Amino acid sequence: MTSASQPVLGIDIGGSGIKGAPVDLATGTLSADRLRIPTPKKSTPKACADVVAQIVEKFADQLGDGPIGIAIPAPVVHGSVPMIANL
């Protein structure tokens, strides 16, 4: 568990870009500039994970090994996710 004053890394895996930044949980604001890397053309799970690793590495000195939240847009049908469009 993290304290509300400790930023956590937020990552958004989108169709055109994978974005990440530290988020101040107390205010909901970014505590550093956002990093955006284009989503790989062949957006396989490994290719997207490699981009996520780059974002984690970028903020590692600032955040250490703290928690990470990841958002991946996908349809929910009857409580389950049948597919993830961006992977």
The pLDDT of residue 70: 94
Which pLDDT tens digits describe the chain residue by residue (87 residues)?
555 568 999 999 998 999 999 999 999 999 999 999 999 998 888 999 999 999 999 999 999 888 999 998 888 999 998 887 766
Residue-wise DSSP of 17-67:
EEEEEEEETTTTEESS--EEEEPPSS--HHHHHHHHHHHHHHHHHHHTT--
Q: Which of 57, 56, 60, 83 shows the shortest CA–CA distance to 72?
A: 83
DSSP 7: -
Residue 77: strand pairing partners? 80
Q: Where are the domains of the chain?
A: 8-71
User: What is the architecture of the domain spanning 8-71?
Assistant: 2-Layer Sandwich (3.30)
The pLDDT of residue 41: 92
